[in-house]
Structure 1
Amino acid sequence: MRTLKSVTLLLFTFISFSKIHAQSTQNDSIKLDYTKIYSLALDGNPVLALPLIQIDPSKKIAARDLQFKTNFENRFKFKDDQSDFLETRKSKIDQLLKIYRDYWRFSFLNKEKKNDTLIMKNVSDFLRKNFPSAKKLTLNEDSINVYQKKYIASLGYHTTGFGKTGGLYDLLVWKTEKDTIYKLNYDGKETPVKVYFMDDFITLGWSEYATLGRYYPAGWATKEALFCVKKSYDLKSENFRVSYIGHEGRHFADYKLFPNLKGVGSADLEYRGKLTELSLYSPDGLYKRIQFFINNGNYDSENGHSIAAFCVIRDLSRVLFQNDYEKDLEKWKAIPSKKINEVAAKILEENTKSLQKIPNVEKFIKQ
């Protein structure tokens, strides 16, 4: 059952940040704050990033940055989406994807409104009209999940199902997948796990839409298997070994250890996955990952990734720096990587012990 209600998604940056957004070093040039722009977008607030791309006409701007500004404004500035999002991913699910695209965009533009009923009604109406088997569909998550998956499968595609990622109902659909077996070692036990490598995506969900394709789920875990977006990783890299196998393997193990654990947007599961990463990374990957968590941490978010990133940096900072949130990466770099690995592993161990004391624990890091 590939349903987003039972998975946690791992966000991934597809292209080197320094390459895709190279900036002129001249004093009279515009410098867009991409870190802040993407942080807002991943938190479901791309509209709040629009003021960050306003340009003083007297300043210079690199061609690539001007293109980004144009594309971002076309997607989020006007009454309707004027971007080529739908045109560049034509498929048999065009109409269904448009329903989700409109829902994502409406949700971004109207944060104060709860739009769950809207997307459920629109998807239900679409399925009843376009998929004869869905005539008995009822207006609830489980029923929509069953018939949406059957509809997409009938077209020859694969999907995660009907469920939320970070507060919004998501839609991930791909054309091809191949599976293999990896052996994971957790809690002193070696466990063979099936990993599906997915390719030829039609949509990678609302985070891909909000960030113009820069960030999207790179993989996820269910109780039965792991799923990996093939284009996201060099399978021989530390990034794959740690941020995918380590992180998602932690989820796979936790589904058995703590079957009810979720927290806001799966924040508790993400917290444990992120601590696992920081316990394993070598210096090169470690400090980059810490910087990403610092930039994207937000305790008040509805996105479990943002909440978890904040809590990881908070808890490590309390041990290593005796403060509540150390943002200065140079101070982190002054701490030996092995020390950070050890502290992350210790905090994860303590979290495990705390969770084991609570019967049927559902949430812990944010009550």
Structure 2
Amino acid sequence: MRNRSPLLSLLPAAALPVLIGWMIGATAAPLSPGSGPQAADAVSRALGAVLRAQAPEALDALKAAPAEQFDGKDAAFRQCMLERHERKAPPPTVGAPKDAFAAKVLDIYQRYWWHAVREPQRRAELDRALKNDLAAAIGEPPPGEGDEAFEALYAKIDARLRESGLHPLQGRTPPLYDLFLWGGQEVRDYTVELPGGVEQPVKVFVMDAWISRGWSHYAACGATGAAGWAKPEGLYAVREAYGDLQGEDFKVSFLGHEAQHFADLKRWPKLPPWRLEYRAKLVELAKADSSRGKLLDRFYRSQDDNIDHPHPYANKKVLADTVAALGLKPDADLRTADPAAVRRVAAEILGADTRKIESEPAGTYAEDAKPKP
């Protein structure tokens, strides 16, 4: 995660030091060449709605386009979305593992996601029901109010899952609570060059054997989802999102994006999620070459004015700030702008933002170095 993330943003219930990255481009199949223009636009708008956890909006977009225009993977996506989200009750658990406890936890999360993306007005109620159901699954009383109580609960669940040889991660990928669960991983070391000549060494955990890739992957029938995230010990990459780990999607939209998160979190652990995503997306724009068109497609596809939706909010701000810095009209399309100028300006905006953060009073975004009394 992007996605607090072209990667996702998974926040702890309270302060989990994780940034997850949404990768619509790398994890979603390209639009089917045989689909008509209305269907192609509908798929794009539906995926954007899913990242805002708005299933009704996604369904409206898909149903507004003529069904006969959808071809291949687009047709399969439309059919799955209608079958999954137009039911009167949650569907059977998708991808349930053999381990009984893991299957129970997955079922609890998927039922929560199904309701939460359909009924945004009930999310506070659904959040509480999720916590109570998870507590019952492990034989604990319902947790108290506040995120710290929930973190203590899911830490016990994580420990139980690890006993079965699984790798869990729970927390909040705004706006929903999330579950990532996988069975295998390998470790690789990289040094990532960030804008401004910064070289950031990172350890990358490449993850396989997936059981749950989070609420967006579930809500979008696998057409989008978390592709990686940053934690204090290193970066985590979803192998199937990046193929052979040699392409620009991996080098720019994973390593570049997440290495910036990694560096920022070390210096400024109090940066808000949208700011972290804004800075990481500027890194992508500053480094992208062959993947530039696909990257900008992702940014344009998912935009939002709600600061509590850090990925689409950051997308909109990156686009607007880059257009303004280039001296273009507000409605200009960066996909038609000079690529070299876009890369240069994105790096300059990031540098200016760094200087702005550095000028803030001590303790604004960094931990206060003064000893506590």
Query: Fold match, TM over 0.5?
Result: yes
Change (3 A) 1:109 1:258: same
Taking only aligned residues, the RMSD between alpha carbons, in angstroms, comes to: 2.7
Per-residue deviation at 1:251?
0.5
* Letter of the 1:240 counterpart: F
CA distance in structure 2 between the aligned counterparts of 1:340 and 1:57, rounded to whole angstroms: 37
- Give the gaps of 5 or more residues in structure 2: 1-9, 367-373
TM-score by length of 1: 0.84
Of 336, 339, 342, the match for 2:341: 339
SS at match of 1:215: coil
List aligned pairs for 1:106-255, cutoff 5 A.
106-113=115-122, 114=124, 115-128=126-139, 140-160=149-169, 162-186=170-194, 188=197, 190-233=199-242, 234-255=244-265
* Letter of the 2:325 counterpart: V
Per-residue deviation at 1:158?
0.2
Structure-1 residue corresponding to 2:370: none
Per-residue deviation at 1:205?
0.5
- Residue identity over aligned pairs, in percent, reads 25
SS at match of 1:71: helix
* Letter of the 2:319 counterpart: I
- Give the gaps of 5 or more residues in structure 1: 130-134
1:97 equivalenced with 2:110 (yes/no): no
Q: Is the 8 A contact 1:175 1:199 kept in 2?
A: yes
List per-residue Cα deviations over 1:189-241 (Å, max 9, x = no partner): 54432110110010000010111101111111112211111111131112111
TM-score by length of 2: 0.83
CA distance in structure 2 between the aligned counterparts of 1:168 and 1:73, rounded to whole angstroms: 21
Change (3 A) 1:41 1:354: same
Change (3 A) 1:287 1:3: closer
Per-residue deviation at 1:23?
1.3
* Letter of the 1:128 counterpart: G
Structure-2 residue corresponding to 1:272: 279
SS at match of 1:213: coil
List per-residue Cα deviations over 1:72-126 (Å, max 9, x = no partner): 11111121133x6x24343321111111011111111221122322222221221
CA distance in structure 2 between the aligned counterparts of 1:198 and 1:276, rounded to whole angstroms: 24
Q: Which moved more, 1:70-79 or 1:47-56?
A: 47-56
* Letter of the 2:230 counterpart: A
CA distance in structure 2 between the aligned counterparts of 1:136 and 1:65, rounded to whole angstroms: 42
Tell me the number of residue pairs that the alignment of Structure 1 and Structure 2 aligns: 342
**Higher RCO structure (Cα 8 Å, ≥6 apart):** 2
1:11 equivalenced with 2:8 (yes/no): no
SS at match of 1:361: coil
Structure-2 residue corresponding to 1:289: 295
Q: Is the 8 A contact 1:315 1:324 kept in 2?
A: no
Change (3 A) 1:243 1:67: closer
Structure-1 residue corresponding to 2:266: 256
Change (3 A) 1:220 1:59: closer
